[in-house]
Structure formats: structure tokens, C-alpha cells
Structure 1
Amino acid sequence: MKDRSKWLTTAIKSAIAAGKAILEVYASADMTIEKKADNSPLTLADRRAHSIIKAAIDAFGIPVLSEEGRAIPFEERNGWTRLWIVDPLDGTKEFIKRNGEFTVNIALVEERVPTLGVIYEPVADNLYFADHHLGAFKIENFQTTGVGADNANIRPLEKLMEKALRLPLNREPGQPFTIMGSRSHATPELMAYVQTMREKYDEVDFISAGSSLKICRVAEGRADIYPRLGPTMEWDTAAGQAIAMASGAQVVRHDDGMPLAYNKEDLLNPWFIVKRP
């Protein structure tokens, strides 16, 4: 457990530091947007955040898988029983649109299961963190709570947990059945799914959001389900899955109901559902 506490606090520190670097670029006039091999956008913020996170977690000698390291051969990765999976800037399209709905995602995966996760939402200054031994937590306004004013001296994990809200939160009275959906990647299949739920429940809310925030909303209990009926990569979901599972939610494949697995030969996720039990 001592190692796990160090892993989690280091992931939290590096996520906050990466978030600060991202906000510096976010506030600048020039985001320096390039194109990745798949024609998706890459920004200066991605690169700065990735460097900060990798420098911090490399100290543990645990291999790191991210979009920048996607070319590592499976023959090498397949021997990794424990690895970090990192998305330094999840929601790049939301970042470019300047709508604030982007996150820093860091997960520890063991035997293909995410067991530890950190998600930081820089603009709203919300921190989510989880370990399967401890549960899932949220700290709102992290930089102003007294636990994160000086990133170099973030309090011990026990103090962070004292300041945090344990997930899931209490459900709002009269809350309708609530579905999360992608703001930038809606599909006809998702719209058909929402329509099916509208026919099943008396009242249904559909909420669009960017990045891993959709998974966080289910982990919080603010939403009942997030069907992702479209492509994602492992680094998009690993941290969110760790947090959702530690909150008591399920993250399962759409086709067979089995949990999502990680460090696969093909790093593309199948369609999946995040849902409260």
C-alpha cells in the first residue's frame, strides 16, 4: 500500500502540474496546432503536459503507454504486467474550441485492469482520483482548498481524502434517468440509443460533454449511463474506468458485457457502456 500511495500522489502532482502547463497554452494567442498521423489535432499543450507527466512517473520504473508511445511493439508490451496509461490532454477538440471540457488522464493498469486513476479538469479546477483499495474521490476547486495551492507540497494522501468528496455523491431528488454523450463525436447509433431510452423511461435527460468528463459524471452519480457507441483509444478511458469502477460503476463492452481490457495488441477500444449498477 505504501507504493500505491506514492504512485497515486505522484500521479496527482503531475496531473496538476500538467494542467497548469496546459492552461498557459490555453491562455495564449497561439496554440501551435499540428496534425497527428490520423489527421487529429496535436497541440503544444499536449507535448508539454506529456513531458511533465512522464518525467514524474518514470521514477518508478513502470513502463508508460500513451499516444506518443503507441508504436511500441505488442511483443514488448505484452510482457508488461503493470503499466501507466496516460492521456496528457484528453479532449483536444474541446481545448481548441476553448470550451473548457478537457482533462489530464493518468491510470495505472495491472494485469490489463485499471486499478488507479487520476483525472484533472484544469479550467474547472476539479480533481478526481481513485484506487481500487480506497475508493473514488473528487476535490472541487483543488487549488483553493489548501491542499493544492503549492503543487510541490501537496498534502499526504490521507489529508487529500479528508478534503475530498467520496464518490458516488448523493443522488438529487427527482433526478431523471440521465445519459451522457460525446460533444464532438455523436453517432447515429448513440441517437438511436437515446431514443430507445426515452421510450423506456418517463423522463430522460441527455447531456453532452467532452473528454473523460462523461465517465466522471457517471462515477459521481450525476448521470446513470454513458454509452460510447463509437471509437476510442485505451488512453481515452483507462483513468476514467479506474475511477468509475472504484465508485461502484461498471465499464463494460457493448457487445458482450465484459469489462474493457487494456494493453491489448489493438489499442482501439470496442464500443462500451459506463453505467451505475
Structure 2
Amino acid sequence: MSLLPDGRALRELCEAAGRDILRVRERRYEVVGKADGSPVTEADMAAHRRLVRGLPRLLDIPVLSEEQADIAWAERSGWHRYWLADPLDGTREFVDGFDDFTVNVALIEQGVVRLGVVHAPALATTWMGGKGIGAWRWHENRCRELVVRVERPPRILVSRAHLDAQTQAWLARFPEATLERCGSSVKFCRIAEGRADLYPRFGPTCEWDTAAGQAVLEGAGGAVVEPHSGHALSYNRGESLINGPFIACSDPALLQ
């Protein structure tokens, strides 16, 4: 495996991007609709600029950001190692006044997520981790190591904005489960912290939505799997950057 970037410097960069977001939040800002109907704000772009400047200084490899994702597959197919970033995950939550929006940065190697940072600026909390590395949470200058905790019946998280018929049918398999709705990649991190067990997602997501949270959860001993194959989510597989269905879990045995 290749060398990892300086973890502290990576965390500080993500936290600086978070401060850029909060500065925009303190004043009036414009919300623009993208071609796919999703919102984008000045906060998204401020964090994007911070990350695309700073990440190559940590590791001089390509950067794929949600706000600059029009990189042709002909070029991306030659990438064996790159940064994958969502400068503001949960823009709808940001616009609607919720606090569970995040900065997501992941290091991808050979299609596998190696390391990820999720920073929630309004919660003053940062998570970092990777499979075989471990996972940690920083809050108010306190750091603790994360390990998943499995409970039955499971504690299930679902997206605040997406609760479709397929998800509802899947939830019926767990009639005694507790259910909580929240936004962004915080859901992966809550499982990593031992506060939840399952997060199903059957509707479309993009690769930058999941990679950093997957790294944190895998570092804590959990998994993010495709429901039919049981394989972990992988990245930069082709021209499309859309994920298939997945389930984030404290233990895949819960799905059997």
C-alpha cells in the first residue's frame, strides 16, 4: 500500500473548509438549482475552492470534487490513486437550517476507499478512519477511538429527505427496530460511534456522498455493502459516478 497523508493536516484542512461554510451561513446567500435539481450555494463553492487548493499539497494526486465532477472517464480511468471530495454534503440540510451537513474527503486507491474524513462544522465534530487503520472522533478538542456496537433489534437510520417505498418495504423486515431520520454522511459516523446499526439506501447517491463515511465506518469495524452481492462499495468503476443500492451496517450478520 502507498503512504498515507498526514492525518492531522488532512483533518485541519477539512475543518478549515467547514469554517468557510459557517461564514457563509452567517449571512444571506443565494441558492441555485443544478441541472439535476439539487441545490448548490456559495458555501459549497467556498469549501470546494479550499479543498482543491489544499489536498494536492498533502498528496500530489488528482482531485475529484462534486463541484468539479465533469472529468471524462477517458482521463479518470487512468487514475489509480485520487482524492474524492464532497465539499458540502447535505446542502438541503444546510439550506433548511439543520446542523447535520458535512465536509467529506476520501482517499481512493485502485477503486477502494483507503482513508476518509467527515467533518460536521455546525456540530464541531470530525471523524476519520480507514479499514485496517482504525477510526476516531474529535469533539471539543477531545479524541476518542471508535468501535461499532451491535444491538438487536437494530437501531436504523434513514435519510431525512429520502424514504421511498423500497426503503419502507425493507424496514418492514425489522418490526421491532428503532428508527431515526437524519441527513448527510453523519449516518455512517453514528454507526461507527456505536449509536446505530443500519442505514439502508436504495435511491441514487453519488460516489462522493459515501466514500468518506464508508472509510470511517470500516475503520470502526463496520461495513458498507451492496445488498445483493454483499460486496463493499467500490469507486471509479466506470463513466457513471452513481452508486447502486447499499446498506451501511455495524455487522453484516444483521442482514442475514
1:273 corresponds in structure 2 to: 247
What is the CA-CA distance between 1:72 and the residue it aligns to?
0.8
Counterpart amino acid of residue 12 in structure 2: K
DSSP-derived class of the 1:51 partner: helix
Deviates more, 1:128-137 or 1:228-237: 128-137
In the TM superposition, what are the counterparts of 1:133-212 in structure 2 within 5 Å? 133-141=132-140, 145=141, 163-168=142-147, 176-198=153-175, 203-212=176-185
Contact persistence 1:15–1:118 (CA under 8 A): yes
1:240 corresponds in structure 2 to: 213
Deviates more, 1:90-99 or 1:216-225: 216-225
* Residues 231-276 of structure 1: per-residue CA shift (max 9 Å, x gap): 1000000000111111111111122211111012211000001111
Counterpart amino acid of residue 133 in structure 2: L
DSSP-derived class of the 2:241 partner: coil
Counterpart amino acid of residue 49 in structure 2: S
Contact persistence 2:156–2:180 (CA under 8 A): yes
Q: Distance in 2 between matches of 1:264 and 1:176?
A: 35
Q: Distance in 1 between matches of 2:12 and 2:130?
A: 15
2:56 corresponds in structure 1 to: 58
What is the CA-CA distance between 1:134 and the residue it aligns to?
2.6
What is the CA-CA distance between 1:175 and the residue it aligns to?
7.6
Q: Distance in 1 between matches of 2:219 and 2:148?
A: 13
Counterpart amino acid of residue 67 in structure 1: E
Counterpart amino acid of residue 90 in structure 1: D
1:4 corresponds in structure 2 to: 4
What is the CA-CA distance between 1:88 and the residue it aligns to?
0.4
What is the CA-CA distance between 1:57 and the residue it aligns to?
0.7
In the TM superposition, what are the counterparts of 1:24-35 in structure 2 within 5 Å? 24-28=23-27, 30-35=28-33
TM-score (norm 1): 0.85
* Residues 206-255 of structure 1: per-residue CA shift (max 9 Å, x gap): 01010001111111121111111111000000000111111111111122
DSSP-derived class of the 1:184 partner: coil
CA RMSD for the aligned pairs? 1.8
Q: Distance in 1 between matches of 2:122 and 2:153?
A: 27
Contact persistence 2:198–2:247 (CA under 8 A): yes
1:120 corresponds in structure 2 to: 119
> Which ranges in structure 2 are unaligned for 5 or more consecutive residues?
252-256
Q: Distance in 1 between matches of 2:101 and 2:157?
A: 15
Contact persistence 1:26–1:98 (CA under 8 A): no
Q: Distance in 2 between matches of 1:119 and 1:217?
A: 11
Q: Distance in 2 between matches of 1:9 and 1:2?
A: 18
Higher strand share: 2
> Which ranges in structure 1 are unaligned for 5 or more consecutive residues?
146-162
1:81 corresponds in structure 2 to: 80
Higher helix share: 1
DSSP-derived class of the 1:240 partner: helix
1:36 corresponds in structure 2 to: 34
Counterpart amino acid of residue 184 in structure 1: A
Counterpart amino acid of residue 76 in structure 1: E
1:253 corresponds in structure 2 to: 226
Counterpart amino acid of residue 276 in structure 1: S
* Residues 119-167 of structure 1: per-residue CA shift (max 9 Å, x gap): 00111111101133430011122xxx2xxxxxxxxxxxxxxxxx42111
